[in-house]
Structure 1
Amino acid sequence: MRFSLTFRVRFSALLVAVAALSLNNAARADVPIVIKFSHVVASDTPKGKAAERFKELAERATKGRVKVEIYPNSQLYKDKDELEALQLGAVQMLAPSLAKFSPLGIREFEVFDLPYIFPTKEVLYRITEGPVGKELLDRLQTKGITGLAFWDNGFKVMSANRPLKVPADFRNQKMRIQPSKVLEAQMRALGAIPQVLDFSEVYQALQSGVVDGTENPPSNFYTQKMYELQPHLTVSNHGYLGYVVIVNRKFWEGLPGSIRVELEGAMREATQYANAIAQNENDRAMEAIRKSGKTVVHQLSDKEREQWRTALAPVHREMEARIGRDLIAAVNREAAREAARDGTKDAARKPAALMGR
């Protein structure tokens, strides 16, 4: 007899709940507390490496009282299932992409999907590490989730079966996206046809022609071997991909206080590591893609990039009601402050929402 995923997850959650009743006693009895950390990308991506670093730091800090089990590459759950699994307690920790929270009713996280909203990583980190980032994490509490940290994976490139140098090149191209209304609007603004697919299904979809192209940071494009199937890649840096490390709230709050403090320290160190390696990992991946000889890498000229920005600027205005005008304005203020500090007045550094106004 086959059972549905929901049944299996709920049954697993019941077992976890029963086990949680003796969690404090287990800690005192030197029986390790197990944290199942599930994610959907390869172990050698920035997220995969950061997860392994957290495991190392957490087990060392707790002197073996906590055991972290890492399940990469959708071994346990795919994109569409992992958040439900966490809420039900079948896994304790995830690091989903920022686009994944809208189905839970928290649309504000889609601000990270807006094209060209972050001119630099410095602006990004002032958002994720400042009051805006804290407020976003706090919103997860009502969903039975505790947000611990933001992990970086860099800016995205576009890939397809043909060169994508100007918006007209996207016409009628079927482009894989994550489940995000912002990303849907982005692709439609470029003239493409958005196709929502789980990350684990992208390679096969590219291989079979279900989709013509996709967007990813170079590290994902390389580690998932998409370069074997996509003859063209454009260094557009049009959007951002990052993650939120989250835990099941009941599990987290049920931990002994001393262990929770040690895990918070391990997470801070792992986050510093994750954000430090992201750019280097993407640079290395891009070099490997070039060396493969299977994908032509296109660099946008200033004129071409300006066409992209002009085509995508209306997405910001379209999404104000969905994401929140004040939140978008807060990000744009940070971008404007950096531009003022650096003395940069060129259009390439202006917040995208201001383009075309």
Structure 2
Amino acid sequence: MNKISKLGRRPLLAALSLAGLMALPFGALAQSPIVIKFSHVVADQTPKGQAAIKFKELAEKKLPGKVQVQVFPNSQLFGDGKEMEALLLGDVQMIAPSLSKFDRYTKKVQLFDLPFLFDDMEAVDRFQASANGQALLKSMTNRGLLGLAYWHNGMKQLSTDKDQLKRPEDVKGLKFRIQSSDVLEAQFRALGANPQKMAFSEVYQALQTGVVDGQENTWSNIFSQKFYEVQKTIAETNHGVIDYMVVTNAKWWDGLPA
């Protein structure tokens, strides 16, 4: 698990030094600190959870008395179906949704849902650091969202409550929980599976009660959410990637004192 968590810390540091927050001239801020509510849907011990905690630590250390970061993990404030709306309404200031969650705002980010596009996380790194990858961070400003950085989670694996998951035909007819992505839905339908779009917080119970037969996720999410308790088989497929984009409300960001 230490190796997985490390993947989340490196882009965090890039977010702090390059994405803009630490570069802002905060000396002009008022006496009261700027409060940044950071909402996310996973546990503290996951890569995203650890990155959010580290962000709070570094932001408050570098800007003492000027910024207060409040982190709300595990869908405490908003689930993954509501957090984008909450950001646009100003109820939170930062979120880090899975890249699969942005299809309502831009189709460009859907490329991350394509199967076997990246061989490993190093390949993901290279693309995200490229001009094309960086351009995606600003692809939703017309919809009120500004991307600040990418954070890693890892490569996706398949799990099921069945005894065998060795060949593509083994998923035929099975119900798989997926994120709210039409690209992911098309993939599972092409394999003859029955994809079910579902909020992350509902997955464990759905697996436990048989509402779905399986799911796709990273090792860190499988571990932190204890999906292994209600699944018989996990296949290490590395068939896709789950990464996050740290986003803020573009209007709120532009309104910070210069």
TM-score normalised by the shorter chain: which range applies?
Answer: 0.7 to 0.9
Question: What are the within-5 Å matches in structure 2 for residues 51-200 of structure 1?
Answer: 51-104=52-105, 106-162=106-162, 163-200=164-201
User: How far, CA to CA, are the matches of 1:60 and 1:252 in structure 2?
Assistant: 20
Question: What are the within-5 Å matches in structure 2 for residues 1-357 of structure 1?
Answer: 27-29=29-31, 31-104=32-105, 106-162=106-162, 163-257=164-258
The 8 Å contact of residues 167 and 191 in structure 1, kept in 2 or not, is answered as: no
Shift of 1:63: 1.1
Amino acid paired to 2:217: N
Partner residue in 2 for 1:342: none
The 8 Å contact of residues 170 and 190 in structure 1, kept in 2 or not, is answered as: yes
| Unpaired segments ≥5 residues, structure 1 | 1-23, 258-357
The 8 Å contact of residues 109 and 136 in structure 2, kept in 1 or not, is answered as: yes
Shift of 1:254: 1.4
Amino acid paired to 1:60: K
Shift of 1:83: 0.5
Higher Rg of the two aligned structures: 1
Shift of 1:119: 1.2
Structure 2 SS opposite 1:109 = helix
Q: Deviations over 1:3-22 (max 9, x none)?
A: xxxxxxxxxxxxxxxxxxxx
Amino acid paired to 2:139: R
The 8 Å contact of residues 99 and 109 in structure 2, kept in 1 or not, is answered as: yes
User: How far, CA to CA, are the matches of 1:27 and 1:135 in structure 2?
Assistant: 29
Superposed CA RMSD in Å reads 1.5
TM-score, structure 1 as length reference:
0.63
Amino acid paired to 1:71: F
Shift of 1:182: 1.0
TM-score, structure 2 as length reference:
0.87
Amino acid paired to 1:207: Q
| Unpaired segments ≥5 residues, structure 2 | 1-25
Work out the number of aligned pairs and report it.
Answer: 232
Higher strand share: 2
Amino acid paired to 2:243: G
Structure 2 SS opposite 1:79 = coil
Amino acid paired to 1:92: Q
